């Protein structure tokens, strides 16, 4: 196994990330609610794995989808199991994305890994570099599938060293969620640029006796949104060589912009714990006019909003840009049931009853051209145009945080965010220290 010891050692770093209490999904998930509020259905599936008595070949599938979306995932697995009489998929909820990574590292070392696993897309490289993920290209070719069948903007984390090691599944992007009723009351248009966003956010502020009662803008505590803004300003998170950061002044511009809004009372930057739920509740209760948040939140926000609610692209500075988030699925190289595992994965990718129905149920993005062209998705977008916005924004998708060392770098980036946004540390000094630490990590 390549890089075996660095791979195992990263378990400690990931546990430390968990203890840091990163909210909004963390690990590059960008506000995803996957991994919270798990339901018993997933646990029941695991406990029944060995006693079905059906004679079917059993496939273990680990995932990070809890709550209502976890129920939709369980329903999808049941549809597959009922669709044929040869394979039984056992879906097991493993906790958050980070918890799944830690458990998977331990399982690889103990040779007890599942056949198929969900991986938050920014962690795919970590496992691919350790050579524990199966190359899916031969299976794709045999099944008549190709990379051209998938949406290009969601394939950035599928390849490693010219091998196809994962495929999109529960994918999302951040979008701008807008209380249009609030904007209309002020005669304001939906902002499309940073300058327009600043003016709009400041105009929406309501203060009483010096205390802010309504904010213009908020976003969860997460690396997703600063990464988006750095790229909108023309920079990259990593340089093309993967040896350092990929920006000069763009990160400084991003955080100074955010601090100006925060200091003016126009930006509410939430506490790290439970930041996604906090910001969502502020938005639906009318305490903030504009929210940067995942497309995966559209369904819940639609139900909670008692106003004209619309979505739009994240505003541009020099350019439009948005990172992607969410999970991919991968086959473990040590699986003893690879053909059966692929049959399940192929069904996910191609059957209207597979991931397509899961996408419709949950709010994640359609990731194959077949899905996008389906009548079911077209009808969904006609009924809920807010969900189409995130898909259209994929033309500006960027994946500039691709690195085997991403989990360690993300820890340092979170420290920089906390120092600037919570502790009011000097922006440039903090970012200089962060760059030095990134350079050290990337040299190892």
Residue 379 lies in a domain: no
| Residues 365-377 pLDDT 10s | 999 999 999 999 9
Residue 156 sits in the same domain as residue 261: no
Give residues with Cβ within 8 angstroms of 6, minimum separation 6: 444
The answer to whether the beta carbons of residues 194 and 217 sit under 8 Å apart is no
> Is 52's pLDDT higher than 90?
no
Residue 28 sits in the same domain as residue 65: yes
User: Tell me, what's the pLDDT at 1?
Assistant: 47
Residue 2 — very low, low, confident or very high, per pLDDT cuts 50/70/90?
low
- Cα separations in angstroms, 9 against 3, 105, 245, 407, 441: 10, 9, 23, 12, 14
Span 5-11, average pLDDT: 48
Residue 139 sits in the same domain as residue 258: no
Characterize the bridge pairing of strands 163-164 and 159-160: antiparallel
> What is the dihedral angle through the alpha carbons of 364, 76, 44, 11, rounded to the nearest 10 degrees?
-40
- Cα separations in angstroms, 174 against 41, 224, 316, 321, 332: 29, 8, 13, 10, 29
Residue 343 sits in the same domain as residue 409: no
| Residues 214-251 pLDDT 10s | 999 999 999 999 999 999 999 999 999 999 999 999 99
User: Tell me, what's the pLDDT at 19?
Assistant: 37
> At 92, is the secondary structure helix, strand, or coil?
strand
Residue 273 sits in the same domain as residue 414: yes
Residue 201 lies in a domain: yes
Question: In terms of Cα–Cα distance, which of 292, 118, 170 is closest to 221?
Answer: 292
Q: What percent of the chain has pLDDT over 70?
A: 88
Residue 69 phi, psi dihedral angles, 5° rounding: -65, -30
Phi-psi region of 209 (alpha: psi -120 to 50; beta: other; left: phi over 0): left
Residue 147 sits in the same domain as residue 91: yes
> Is 36's pLDDT higher than 60?
no
Residue 145 sits in the same domain as residue 248: no
Report the CATH number that the domain containing residue 143 is assigned in CATH.
Answer: 3.40.190.10
Residue 336 sits in the same domain as residue 319: no
Residue 390 lies in a domain: no
Residue 336 sits in the same domain as residue 249: no
Last residue of a domain, one of 373, 392, 409: 373
pTM assigned to the model: 0.86
Number of folded domains in the chain?
Answer: 2
Residue 253 lies in a domain: yes
Distance separating alpha carbons of residues 116 and 101, to the nearest angstrom? 13
Residue 294 sits in the same domain as residue 277: yes
Residue 388 lies in a domain: no
Residue 384 lies in a domain: no
> At 93, is the secondary structure helix, strand, or coil?
strand
Residue 9 sits in the same domain as residue 155: yes
Residue 278 lies in a domain: yes
Domain range for 335 is 4-172+326-373
Residue 58: beta bridge partners? 88
Give 375: exposed, middle or buried? Use CB within 10 Å, 0-12, 13-18, 19+: exposed
User: Tell me, what's the pLDDT at 17?
Assistant: 43
Residue 380 lies in a domain: no
Residue 302 sits in the same domain as residue 200: yes
């Amino acid at each position: 196994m390549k890089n075996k010891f660095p791979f195992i050692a990263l378990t400690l770093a990931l546990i430390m990330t968990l203890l840091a209490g990163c909210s909004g999904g963390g690990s590059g998930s960008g506000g995803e609610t996957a991994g919270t509020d798990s339901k018993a259905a997933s646990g029941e599936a695991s406990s029944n794995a060995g006693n079905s008595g059906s004679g079917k070949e059993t496939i273990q599938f680990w995932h990070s989808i809890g709550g209502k979306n976890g129920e939709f995932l369980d329903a999808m697995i049941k549809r597959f199991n009922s669709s044929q009489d040869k394979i039984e998929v056992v879906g097991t909820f493993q906790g958050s994305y980070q918890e799944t990574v830690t458990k998977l590292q331990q399982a690889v070392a103990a040779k007890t890994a599942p056949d198929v696993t969900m991986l938050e897309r920014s962690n795919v490289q970590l496992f691919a570099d350790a050579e524990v993920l199966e190359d899916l290209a031969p299976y794709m070719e045999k099944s008549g599938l190709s990379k051209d069948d998938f949406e290009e903007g969601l394939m950035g984390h599928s390849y490693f060293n010219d091998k196809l090691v994962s495929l999109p599944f529960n994918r999302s992007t951040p979008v701008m969620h807008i209380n249009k009723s609030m904007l209309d009351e002020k005669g304001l248009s939906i902002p499309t640029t940073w300058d327009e966003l600043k003016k709009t956010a400041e105009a929406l502020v309501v203060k009483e006796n010096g205390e802010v009662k309504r904010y213009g803008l908020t976003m969860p505590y997460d690396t997703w949104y600063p990464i988006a803004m750095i790229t909108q300003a023309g920079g990259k998170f990593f340089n093309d060589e993967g040896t350092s950061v990929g920006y000069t002044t763009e990160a400084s511009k991003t955080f100074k912009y955010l601090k100006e809004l925060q200091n003016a009372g126009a930006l509410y930057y939430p506490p790290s714990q439970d930041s996604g739920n906090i910001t969502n509740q502020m938005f639906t209760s009318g305490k903030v006019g504009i929210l940067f948040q995942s497309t995966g939140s559209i369904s819940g926000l639609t139900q909670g909003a008692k106003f004209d609610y619309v979505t739009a692209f994240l505003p541009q500075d020099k350019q439009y840009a948005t990172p992607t988030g969410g999970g991919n699925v991968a086959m473990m190289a040590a699986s003893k049931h690879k053909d059966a595992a692929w049959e399940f994965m192929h069904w996910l990718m191609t059957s209207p009853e597979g991931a397509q129905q899961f996408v419709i149920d949950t709010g994640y993005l359609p990731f194959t051209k077949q899905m996008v062209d389906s009548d079911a998705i077209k009808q969904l977008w006609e009924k809920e145009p807010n969900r189409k916005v995130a898909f259209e924004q994929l033309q500006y998708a960027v994946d500039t945080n691709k690195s085997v060392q991403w989990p360690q770098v993300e820890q340092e980036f979170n420290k920089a965010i906390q120092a600037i946004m919570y502790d009011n540390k000097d922006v440039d000094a903090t970012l200089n220290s962060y760059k030095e630490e990134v350079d050290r990590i990337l040299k190892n």
